[in-house]
A and B are shown apart, each in its own frame.
Chain A
Amino acid sequence: MRRIISILLENEAGALSRVAGLFSARGYNIESLTVAPTEDPSLSRMTLVTRGSNEILEQITKQLNKLIEVVKLIDLTEGPHIERELLLIKVHAVGDSRNEIKRLADIFRGRIVDVTASTYVIELTGTGEKLDAFIEALSGIRIIETVRSGVSGVSRGEKSLRL
């Protein structure tokens, strides 16, 4: 089962490698991982997407909690939540395809943020599935670079992850 785990951790050198090291040492999957400081500069917030059975997920959260630098964590997928990922994609855009790409970007509510005579850079946010669908829709267009941020997420409503 796919899970999104949000973690508040001490904003210290080495904290990220401790989390990454835990996953590799114990053979857990990491599908994506994002991390950046929060409004409190002593804390970082990490969003980690992983897959595994319920037993493995239970171990993952327990092992994460054991890390001294992990202050708090929640499994976002346990409740209603918002999940977003940013895609920046540079495509070859010449002739008729320039219009077609523009239309596709509009349909997916993406924005063209850089234009040259032969390329577009498109910015798109959404769930991972939406980004996959957009990339799929670009079939026939030459993709030069794909950059995805990995998933960020937050729970809906009153529920929150804070100290």
Chain B
Amino acid sequence: MELTGAEIVVECLKEEGVEYLFGYPGGAVLHIYDALYKQDHIKHILVRHEQAATHAADGYARSTEKPGVVLVTSGPGATNAITGIATAYMDSIPMVIITGQVPTHAIGSDAFQEVDAVGITRPCVKHNFLVKDVKDLASTIKKAFFIATSGRPGPVVVDVPKDVTAAKTVFEYPKQISLRSYSPVERGHIGQIRRAVKLMLSAKRPMLYTGGGVILGNSAPELTELTRKLGYPITNTLMGLGGYPATDKQFLGMLGMHGTYEANMAMHHCDVLIAIGARFDDRVTGNVKKFCPGAQIVHVDIDPASISKSVRVDVPIVGSVKSVLQDMIRLLDETGEKPDATALAEWWKQIEEWRATDCLKYDRASEIIKPQMVVEKFYELSEGQAFLTSDVGQHQMWAAQFYKFDKPRRWINSGGLGTMGFGLPAAMGVQFAHPDALVGCVTGEGSIQMCIQELSTCLQYRLPIKIINLNNRYLGMVRQWQEFFYQSRYSMSYMEALPDFVKLAEAYGHVGMRIEKPSDVEPAIKEALRLKDRLVFMDFITDQKENVYPMIPAGAGLNEMILV
């Protein structure tokens, strides 16, 4: 039987097992929306801005093992989606974004709502396609899902002109697809893995440094097994939190610019560094010239281009984190050799001295609400079981420092691109994926206003997200840098004319709370958690002068932290 292109799009999504489609209609995608109307397999979620559609799909993908799927119209629909696409690209999140396009005959004529979607998204997608013939539609969508979810994942855009969605052809969904120019490596080179294991066992001061690749590769259990077997200290990047249980003794906390003193010092002084699914980002390495000066480095990554990009490594291993970790565990068991216990005990002694610095300490007796305390209380009262999204800035760092993630895919934030406005729509995607789970969004009064319109979407779909607004009336991270590096010239970082967030939440049909005293923090969170089926907007009025510590200033090494 022949189907229209629009029907084919819907059938392809069904074949891929797509549950939710995040989108916003418009002229070029009307045929597809009509086809969606006539079925009830795929639930379309109507957001209030296309950026939110991409962030919601992104949050859905990060909190599950499935790709996020987006449908937007041509022109402004596509351009509004760009920020979300770039966010997903930087953090290697699998997404498929279907953009409408003007009819093929009008392409290039500056038609109404025309934009070169393939051109404009090219630098921020793993791949993209323009489908010019309905006969290519099904196979292209199949390729898009395959590319988005395999290898190092990423967003893939499929641009579909309106006439292609109207044209008919016989629908056949390919079972399998192979691309001669694309075949991601799965298993790591066994000789290299053997070398790595040997080096790991010879270490006197070993350190494990793991990133988002562990989460995306679903290899937290293997990482935990290997780390416990070795007894080595471990740190996670911002993207890797939850890859190893944060409450475990071997965990030294996050590393990098606002990482813990013990994690950064252990990195700096280690003799063997085992980097797994991490990409030596500049926020992690500090000054690369001063990075891990005495270490031999093992690097496991699925993307060959990530290896030796900013830091030369000694034992590169290209492969999926999961299979390489499994091979490492197997080889460790086979050799029967054990790490040098004396050296390791000495190393742990040193680490415990660093840990005793208590680098995350803050004034717990403060009369003004300390933002750290809010996150800590939320952690306690949610028993560490929440899914937590964040926006970008100081609140993001405090959430990462003070909420201890024991499980992967619970910490959802824009690490690479640093996208303000990510938190709330991402939380929507997470809540759709986990309808019964507690989903929190730690944000600030700056970030939340970048996608605040989604409070309306949250009402439409009754999403009981708990918004934790750390409101210090400043773009806090900007303010902090201006205080440290611009002699306190607070250029444009003070947020004047803020809305009354309580009334705003109420206007959107939600519950709003303003919390101004430290003693009210716990009762407020308890009350919010009791309101299980309502979105609660908690506006915490926090200390304006609080800074994120510790901190590595730009250009410094990991051993040159500013402590409180």
Spell out A's residues near B (CB within 8 Å): 9-10, 13-14, 17-18, 21, 25, 55, 58-59, 62-63, 65-66, 68-72, 163
In the complex, the answer to whether B119 meets A58 with C-beta atoms within 8 Å is: no
A21, B305: Cβ atoms under 8 Å?
Answer: no
Q: Is B123 an interface residue (CB 8 A)?
A: yes
Please tell me if the beta carbons of A68 and B123 are within 8 angstroms of each other in the complex: no
A163, B182: Cβ atoms under 8 Å?
no
Pair A68/B122 contact, Cβ less than 8 Å? no
Q: Which residues of A contact B312 (CB under 8 A)?
A: 55
Known: A59-B309, A68-B127. A17 touches B182 (CB 8 A): no
Residue among A13, A18, A68 having the largest count of chain B Cβ atoms under 10 Å:
A68
Residue A163 contacts which of B122, B126, B180, B308 (CB distance < 8 angstroms)? B180
Chain B nearest CB, measured from A96 CB (Å) = 52
Additional A-B contacts beyond A10-B181, A55-B308, A66-B305 (13; CB < 8 A): A17-B122, A18-B122, A21-B122, A21-B123, A25-B123, A55-B312, A68-B126, A68-B127, A69-B181, A70-B181, A71-B180, A72-B181, A163-B180
Is B417 part of the binding interface, using a Cβ–Cβ cutoff of 8 Å?
A: no
List the A side residues contacting B181 at CB < 8 Å.
9-10, 68-72
B288 shortest CB reach to chain A, Å: 12
A-B contact pairs, 5 of them (CB 8 A): A58-B308, A62-B305, A66-B304, A68-B182, A70-B181
Determine the residue in chain A with the shortest Cβ distance to B128.
Answer: A14
Task: Give the contacts of B157-181 with A (CB-CB under 8 A).
Answer: 179-181
The answer to whether A59 touches B123 (Cβ under 8 A) is no
Query: Is residue B522 contacting chain A, with contact meaning CB distance below 8 A?
Result: no
Q: Size range of the interface on B?
A: 10 to 19
- Complex CA–CA separation, A71 to B179 (angstroms): 9
**In the complex, how many angstroms separate the beta carbon of A7 from the nearest chain B beta carbon?**
11
- Does B186 lie at the interface of the complex (its beta carbon under 8 Å from any beta carbon of A)? no
Q: How far is the CA of A25 from the CA of B179 in the complex (A)?
A: 25
Q: Does B118 interact with chain A (Cβ within 8 Å)?
A: yes
- With an 8 A cutoff between CB atoms, is B225 at the interface? no
Q: Which residues of B contact A18 (CB under 8 A)?
A: 122
Contact partner, B118, options A14, A25, A63, Cβ 8 Å: A14
Closest 10 CB pairs of A and B: A62-B305, A71-B181, A68-B127, A25-B123, A68-B182, A62-B304, A63-B305, A66-B305, A21-B122, A71-B180
Residues in chain B near residue A9, CB distance under 8 A: 181
B546 beta carbon closer than 8 Å to chain A: no
Rounded to whole angstroms, the CA-CA distance of A21 and B179 in the bound complex is 22
> In the assembly, what is the distance between CA of A17 and CA of B119, in Å?
9
Contact string against A for B residues 182-193, beta-carbon threshold 8 Å, 1 for contact and 0 otherwise: 100000000000
Q: In the assembled complex, how far is the CB of residue B496 from the closest CB belonging to chain A, in whole angstroms?
A: 37
CB of A68 within 8 A of CB of B308, answer: no
In angstroms, Cα B309 to Cα A71, docked, is 22
250-296 of chain B: CB within 8 A of chain A: none
- When distances are taken between beta carbons in the complex, the residues of chain A under 8 Å from B303 are 66
Instruction: List the B side residues contacting A70 at CB < 8 Å.
Output: 181
In the bound complex, CA of A118 to CA of B303 (Å): 59
User: What's the nearest-Cβ distance from chain B to residue A17, in Å?
Assistant: 7
In the complex, chain B residues 298-321 whose Cβ is within 8 Å of any chain A Cβ:
303-305, 308-309, 312
Find residues 32-53 in chain B having any chain A CB closer than 8 Å to their own CB.
Answer: none
Contacts of B122 in A (CB 8 A): 14, 17-18, 21
> At the interface, yes or no: B86 with Cβ under 8 Å from chain A?
no
- B561 within 8 Å of A (CB atoms): no
Residues of chain A within 8 A of B203, CB atoms compared: none
Question: Chain A: which residue is nearest B143 at the CB level?
Answer: A68
Beta-carbon nearest neighbor of A14 in chain B: B118
B375 at the interface (CB under 8 A from A): no
Contacts A21-B123, A68-B147, A163-B180; is A59 near B305 (CB within 8 Å)? Answer: yes
Residues of A within 8 A of B147 (CB): 68
In the complex, residue of chain B having the shortest beta-carbon distance to the beta carbon of A62: B305
Over the window 509-544 of chain B, the binary record of Cβ atoms lying under 8 Å from chain A Cβ atoms (1 yes, 0 no) is 000000000000000000000000000000000000
Docked complex Cα distance between A51 and B304 (Å): 21
**What's the minimum C-beta distance from B444 to chain A, rounded to whole angstroms?**
31
Q: Which A residues lie within 8 Å of B126 (CB)?
A: 68
What CA separation (Å) do A72 and B305 show in the bound complex?
A: 15
CA distance A72 to B183 in the complex (A): 12
- CB contacts (< 8 Å) of A25 on chain B: these are 123
A68's nearest neighbour on chain B, judged by CB, is: B127
In chain A, what residue has the closest Cβ to B184? A66
Instruction: Report chain B residues within 8 Å CB of A72.
Output: 181
Chain A nearest CB, measured from B177 CB (Å)? 12
Residue of B nearest to A69 (CB): B181
Minimal beta-carbon separation of B401 from chain A (angstroms): 33
A9 to B180, CA, bound (A): 10
| Complex Cα–Cα for A21 and B181 (A) | 19
Within 8 A of A (CB), among B113-130: 118-119, 122-123, 126-127, 130
B118 / chain A contacts, CB cutoff of 8 Å: 14
Residue of A nearest to B118 (CB): A14
| Chain B residue contacts of A10, Cβ below 8 A | 181
Q: Which residues of chain B are near A58, meaning CB under 8 Å?
A: 308
In the assembly, what is the distance between CA of A71 and CA of B305, in Å?
Answer: 16
